[in-house]
Amino acid sequence: MAQNAQNELDDLYGDVVLDHCRTPRNSDTVEPADLRADGVNPFCGDEVHLQIALNDDQAARVGVQSVGCSINRASASMMSEALTGKSRSDIVELAKTFRAMLKGDAPSDDEREDLGELTVLEHVREFPVRIKCALLPWSTLEDALAG
């Protein structure tokens, strides 16, 4: 494997991604849940099952169970951490920012701060076939918000 390709893979499967893949956060099912959705990518077999319990308009507890590749599982885990404590409107904005980042729009400094460690998934853009893997948890979130 060429050194450049190896460096790109190292960026894709960096320490943060591997940590979230191996030890997913918020993986317990949340019951009762105010928002829930299930997402599946039938082409690769990735799955995401999402539950959010709201307190007023904020995500008090988030549960996400993901099956499939490491990018899908890491994205779901990082997303669950990023959502906890946020209002619905902040969650919608975060989802838009994440989706835009994966489509090639460079986040502003404020958006980078909001995304936190999710910015490590920016490298997924270099592997177009993997973008859907990283976006599946977020598409599932958008389905949950749409009700």
Q: The domain that contains 94 carries what CATH number?
A: 3.90.1010.10
Say if CB 134 and CB 77 are below 8 A apart: no
The number of beta carbons lying within 10 Å of the beta carbon of residue 36 is 19
The total of structural domains in the chain comes to: 1
Q: Which residues contact 71 (CB under 8 A, 6 or more apart)?
A: 12, 17, 121, 124, 130, 133, 134
Q: Which helix (H) or strand (E) holds 53?
A: strand 47-55
Task: Give residue-wise pLDDT tens across range 31-49.
Answer: 999 999 999 999 889 999 9
Residues 63-67: contacts with CB within 8 Å, 24+ apart?
Answer: 63/26, 63/27, 63/28, 63/29, 63/30, 63/33, 64/24, 64/26, 64/27, 64/137, 65/27, 65/29, 66/24, 66/137
Residue 123's pLDDT is what? 87
Indicate the pLDDT class of residue 5, thresholds 50, 70 and 90.
very low
**Would you call 82 exposed, middle or buried from its count of C-beta atoms within 10 A (0-12, 13-18, 19+)?**
buried
Task: Give residue-wise pLDDT tens across range 50-108.
Answer: 999 999 999 999 999 999 999 999 999 999 999 999 999 999 999 999 999 999 999 99
> Which of residues 15 and 132 earns the better pLDDT score?
132
Domain that holds residue 7: 3-146
